[in-house]
Structures are given as C-alpha cells and as structure tokens.
A = this chain, B = another copy of it.
Amino acid sequence: MARLPTVEDVAAAAGVSRQTVSNVLNSPAIVKESTRERVERAIAELGYRPHMAARRLRTRRSSTIGIHLDPYAGGISGVVLDRFVHALTERAGDRGMRIQLYAARSPAEEIARMGELTDGGEIDAVVITGTFHGDPRTRWLAERAVPFVAFGRPWGDDDVSDPAHLWVDVDGAAGTRAATEHVLAVAGPRAAFLGWPVGSGTGDDRERGWREAMTAAGMAGERLSCEESVGGARTVAAELLARDPDVDGIVCASDSLAIGAHLAAAAAGRPTLPVVGFDNTPAAEAIGLSSVEQLPEQVAAGALDLLMGPSGNAVDPRPAAAGEAHVLVEPRLVVR
C-alpha cells in the first residue's frame, strides 16, 4: 500500500502544530475559524484520514452497531431477516455507521458475543431480532446499560403503552386483518385461518387480525394450526377441504403455510382458491400467491431512528422518551 498521509503531513501543509490538527479533529470549537479552515483544506487536499482505531480510543466510540445472524436454517421466510440486515447496512452507511455481524446459535451464545464486543469497545449499540416471552437478552442488555433496539416486541402486558425498551416491529394483526378483508371481499364469508400452535407472540398476533376481521363481518371461520412446514400445512389444508368443500379462502401466518395450503387446494381441484401468505417471499411471488409484505426497509429505518434519533449520526446514549420508544410498521397486502 502507498504510504498514507499522516497528521504530521497535515500540520506541515497547513503550517500549524500537530496539536492544532488534533484539536480541529476532536474539539473544533476551540480552534480559530481561519486556522480551522486552513487545516480542513490541507486534510481535504492530502486525502488524510485519521486511523479509526486512534479515533475510537479518543472518542470511546466505534461508530459500529452489532447484529447477530442465526445459522442459516433454510426455509422460505428467512429472507425477511436477511432483507432487514441489507436495509440496516445501507441506512447505517448513509449515517456514517458500520454494521458488524456475529454468529450465535443460542441466546446464551449471543449474550457472550455481545459481552465481548461491548467490553472491547468494538460496538456502540446492538440490534437484536426475534424477541420472545422472557427473553434473557433484553434483561442482560438493560442490566449492562448497553444501548439497543429490538426487531420484535417485548411481548409483555404493556408493550405498546409502556415499553420496557426500544423496539420496532411489524403490525402482524393489521396484516392478517387486511388479508382476511380481501378474502371476504373477493371470495365469500368462509375464510379459514391456518397458523402455528398457540403460544408464540408473533403467531398469536397474526391470528388475532383474522379473528377481529371475521368478528367485524359477523362471521366465525375455522382456525387450523400446524408447525411451520409446507408438508404439514398441505396435510392440514387437505383435511379442511375434504371436510368443508365450500371454504372460500385461507389466510395463513406464513408463506410456507400458504404454499402448503395452495398445493392442497390445487390437488383438490381448486387451484384458484384464494390463499394469502405472510412475508411476501420470492417463493410466494414465483407461484403467484398474495402475501402480506413486512417492509423490512421501514423496520430498519425505524430501528436506526430509535437508536440515533431521526437525524442523528451517533448512538444516543440516553433512553428515548416513552412516546418514541417503539415504531410499529404497518405491513402491506400484495394481491396477486
């Protein structure tokens, strides 16, 4: 690598001392304006860039946000988190922040990684994803006073009115409500729901949207459930179609479930039965299913706004006021 310009080169070019250059970089307010302009010109002309490690030591800021990646598990919906990481990287870059990745196979391992990185001053804040009831990560982060935001609610009683920490999430109930209203409008009143077994925050939220839309329309549809898999959904949906050949449509908690339901409908001679998925994955698009789009780009923007303020370029170490402590993104139904 060609030799890079040093702080001494800048000082010589601007005709000032090394300390003055350092002041311009770290405490510009204390430098006379004409001197500051001369130093800044020399910095620009020489293309000088301070070594980031030195800046990190001086400022005790890394300008880096950490986020963990799960081991790749396959599946249709993993793409939503990957899209979120893409969007977070782009938007963080626009604000002068870096994204650092770490792998973790369990919440305990994720806590160990976060500990190393915060102890070492390598990250200023973290983003956690996939929150769940009794999540040990949020407790650990709060105890250590590490700035963080969660993609996913705390899933407690006062999530929205009095959130325990910063969070951004997608309004799943709003998504399945829109999906159900769509089926009622284009097909008929017998809209079933195919979700996951009761007990997951995300799944129960999506079920609620369907139930509320059915109640508002004066209907009571059938609620089915199975674990997240195309094959399982196909079996459950085939049984429904055999029991009730007049069902008008199926609203699903995920695209995997929707693809299974669609395959069952096609095999039962009803290939055009309205089936709506959730996540708007490439797989749903490829086979032409309607789906609820999570808008991960808006989730990423919301996460950074919460951590840094809407126009900030550093992590805000103070806790946000209660009113700003969450962002709930309204998803969008993509009709095909």
A273 at the interface (CB under 8 A from B): no
A128 to B90, CA, bound (A): 17
A146 to B256, CA, bound (A): 43
Q: Which of A48-56, A154-162, A174-182 contacts B (4 or more CB under 8 A)?
A: A48-56
Q: Spell out A's residues near B (CB within 8 Å).
A: 1-2, 4, 49-54, 56-57, 62, 64, 69-72, 74-76, 78-79, 82-83, 85-87, 89-90, 93, 98-103, 113, 116, 118-122, 144-146, 230, 256, 259, 263, 281-283, 285-287, 296-297
Q: Besides A51-B120, A100-B101, 4 other CB < 8 A contacts?
A: A69-B86, A69-B90, A72-B297, A98-B102
B53 and A62 contacting across the interface, CB-CB below 8 Å: yes
A101 and B79 contacting across the interface, CB-CB below 8 Å: no
Looking at the complex, which one of B74, B116, B287 makes contact with A285 (CB distance below 8 Å)?
A: B74
Nearest 3 pairs of A and B residues by beta carbon: A53-B56, A283-B283, A52-B120
- On whether A1 and B100 interact (CB within 8 A), knowing A86-B72, A283-B286, A286-B76, the answer reads no
- On whether A1 and B146 interact (CB within 8 A), knowing A50-B120, A76-B286, A287-B287, the answer reads yes
B-chain residues with CB within 8 Å of residue A75 when the two chains form the complex = 282
B82 and A103 contacting across the interface, CB-CB below 8 Å: no
B-chain residues with CB within 8 Å of residue A90 when the two chains form the complex = 69, 71, 103
